[in-house]
């Protein structure tokens, strides 16, 4: 998980601190207008010291007042203090989940509820990351590696009782490893994910209302164009089932401003158990209607198996180009299987044609054939040969199961 960095040398913007305090329920009670304000923690959070926060850096004592306020915030008992400090150190959009369930009585029940909320929230964020890369009713394995890498830079808050969870999406540059894995430009940060997810949630809410009013699924078909997909409906079903409902809200990073086309304070999006039939039907429809994709892949053979020394066999391929998926499985005829085996033994990738099947999550290549070895330079050939030696049971006797 990405760790927060320290505040900049001059300290955070006092105006940003004021916005965050107000967002988290702190109350301004007096102070000298135009110079500083006194803030007190939300009621019901236990005793806590008030904070004297300057309005800006314009006055000689502003830096000292701000440093004292941050020190006091670090030691306050208010639960919101941690979230405020994280948002100051790493300017971030915030996504908040609230799952309406009875307060767990036993520790084991609380742990189970926390894990369910975290898993559902991560699945929803993954759907948002997929929507930020491409629009499809069912992504399957496509774009998944890069979408998952985009989640590595997110900061996750605690989920006490499994009822509330906050995730921070840094709006600044991603850490280098995450940016490289996600194939993102450093300036992207997490905002494209936040905007894509909010847009998709709003469209899902509208489509669900339309389906419940008319019994028609047309709106879900249109919603694919703004990021709604099977992965999002599955995440919603996982969170709503077994609860009285969920609410998802987005708060923009004050330091980064409001993204174009969005409200400054978006209304939270809510779903209830009554929405489950529509969400489940939409998810099944997306899988059923997503078409297969004809491709010509460049791939490295990573595993081969067949029943006997002659005849067709099964290969597993690591995709290098031609499709946004990590690995695929294909059944090859005897001649193509032999060509693939020879290419693998000498450290060459192959080009192969076929049809990625949607029903297998785009992990199976149907009608595979036309295998051709691809010449590569010595460095790449050595790397592929090394992967052969690191593989286990590359040439086997029986096809491996999916």
Question: Rounded distance, CA 360 to CA 393, Å?
Answer: 24
As a dihedral over the C-alpha atoms of residue 79, residue 82, residue 84, residue 86, rounded to 10 degrees, the angle is -160
Using CB atoms within 10 Å of the CB of residue 216, give its burial: 0 to 12 exposed, 13 to 18 middle, 19+ buried: exposed
Neighbours of 67 (CB within 10 A): 12
- The tens-digit pLDDT sequence of the chain (402 residues) is 333 434 444 567 888 888 888 888 888 887 777 777 888 888 765 566 788 788 777 777 778 888 888 888 888 877 788 888 888 888 889 999 999 998 877 888 888 899 999 999 999 999 999 999 999 999 999 999 899 998 988 888 777 778 999 999 998 765 554 444 444 433 457 899 999 999 999 999 999 999 999 999 999 999 999 999 999 999 999 999 999 999 999 999 988 889 999 999 999 999 999 999 999 999 999 999 999 999 999 999 999 998 888 889 999 999 999 998 889 999 999 999 999 998 888 888 999 999 999 888 899 999 999 999 988 777 766 666 666 555 544 444 443 444
| Contact of 10 with 57, CB cutoff 8 Å | yes
Sign of CA dihedral 244, 278, 218, 294: positive
Edge-to-edge strand ranges of the sheet holding 246-251: 155-156, 164-170, 92-99, 246-251, 269-271
Mapping DSSP onto H, E and C, the string for the chain reads: CCCCCCCCCCCCCHHHHHHHHHHCCCEECCCCCCCEEEEECCCCCCCCCCEEEECCCCCCCHHHHHHHHHHHHHHCCCCHHHHHHHHHHCCEEEEEEEECCCCCCCHHHHHHHHHHHHHHHHHHHHHHHHHHHCCCCCCCCCCHHHHHHHHHHCEECCCHHHCEEEEEEECCCCCHHHHHHHCCCCCCCCHHHHHHHHHHHHHHHHHHHHHHHHCCCHHHHHHHHHCCCHHHHHHHHHHHCCCCCEEEEEECCCCCCCCCCCCCCCCCEEECHHHHHHHHHHHHHHHHHCCCEEEEEEEEEEEEECCCCCCCEEEEEEEEECCCCCEEEEEECHHHHHHHHHHHHCCCCEEEEEEECHHHCCCEEEEEEEEEECCCCHHHHHHHHHHHHHCCCCEECCCCCC
For residue 233, what are the contacts with CB-CB under 8 A and spacing of at least 6? 204, 279, 280, 282, 283, 286
Angle at 307 between CA 306 and CA 311, to 5 degrees: 70
pTM of the model: 0.80
Who contacts 365 (Cβ-Cβ below 8 Å, separation ≥6)? 295, 297, 317, 328, 329, 330, 352, 354, 355, 356, 357
pLDDT confidence of residue 399: 39
Give the C-alpha separation, 129 to 123, whole Å: 10
Query: What confidence score (pLDDT) does residue 181 get?
Result: 47
| DSSP β-bridge partners for residue 250 | 95
Question: What CATH number does domain 293-396 carry, 3.30.70, 2.40.50, 3.90.320, 2.60.98?
Answer: 2.40.50
Q: Quick one: pLDDT at residue 116? A: 94
Pairing of strands 293-305, 395-396: parallel
Cα 338 to Cα 395: distance, rounded to the nearest angstrom: 12
Domain boundaries, the chain: 14-89, 92-289, 293-396
Q: What are the beta bridge partners of residue 53?
A: 37
User: Distance of CA 330 to CAs 194, 230, 296, 303, 327, Å?
Assistant: 36, 25, 13, 11, 10
Q: How far apart are CA 337 and CA 369, in angstroms?
A: 9
- In sequence order, what are the residues at sequence separation of 6 or more whose Cβ sits closer than 8 angstroms to the Cβ of residue 310? 334
What distance in Å separates the CA atoms of residue 76 and residue 64, rounded to the nearest whole number?
Answer: 18
Contact (CB, 8 A) for 117 and 160: no
């Amino acid at each position: 998980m990405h760790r927060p960095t320290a505040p900049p040398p001059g300290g955070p913007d006092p105006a940003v601190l004021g916005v965050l305090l107000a967002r988290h329920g702190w109350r301004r009670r007096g102070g000298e207008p135009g110079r500083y304000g006194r803030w007190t923690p939300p009621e019901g959070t236990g005793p806590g010291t008030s904070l004297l926060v300057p309005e800006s850096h314009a006055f000689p004592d502003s830096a000292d007042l701000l440093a004292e306020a941050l020190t006091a915030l670090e030691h306050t008992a208010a639960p919101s203090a941690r979230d405020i400090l994280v948002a100051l150190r790493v300017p971030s959009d915030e996504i908040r989940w609230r799952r309406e369930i009875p307060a767990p009585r036993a520790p084991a029940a609380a742990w189970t509820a926390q894990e369910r909320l975290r898993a559902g929230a991560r699945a929803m964020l993954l759907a948002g990351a997929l929507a930020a890369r491409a629009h499809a009713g069912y992504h399957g394995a496509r774009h998944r590696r890069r979408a998952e890498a985009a989640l590595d830079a997110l900061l996750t808050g605690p989920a006490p009782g499994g009822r509330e969870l906050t995730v921070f999406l840094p709006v600044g540059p991603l850490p280098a490893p995450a940016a490289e894995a996600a194939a993102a430009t450093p300036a992207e940060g997490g905002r494209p994910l936040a905007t894509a997810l909010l847009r998709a949630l709003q469209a899902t809410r509208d489509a669900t209302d339309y389906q419940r009013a008319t019994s028609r699924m047309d709106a879900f078909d249109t919603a694919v164009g703004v990021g709604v997909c099977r992965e999002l409906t599955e995440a919603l079903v996982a969170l709503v089932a077994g609860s009285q409902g969920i609410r998802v809200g987005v708060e923009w990073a004050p330091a980064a401003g409001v993204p174009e086309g969005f409200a400054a304070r978006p209304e939270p999006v809510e779903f209830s158990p009554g929405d489950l039939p529509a969400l489940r039907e939409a998810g099944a429809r997306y899988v059923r209607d997503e078409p297969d994709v004809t491709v010509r892949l460049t791939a490295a053979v990573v595993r081969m198996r067949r029943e006997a020394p002659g005849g067709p066999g099964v290969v597993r391929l690591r995709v290098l180009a031609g499709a946004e998926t990590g690995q695929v499985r294909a059944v090859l005829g005897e001649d193509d299987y032999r060509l693939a085996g020879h290419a693998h033994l000498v450290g060459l990738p192959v080009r192969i044609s076929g049809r990625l099947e949607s029903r297998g999550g785009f992990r199976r290549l149907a009608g595979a054939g036309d295998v051709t070895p691809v010449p590569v330079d010595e460095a790449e050939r050595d790397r592929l040969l090394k992967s052969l030696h690191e593989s286990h049971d590359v040439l086997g006797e029986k096809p491996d199961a999916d």
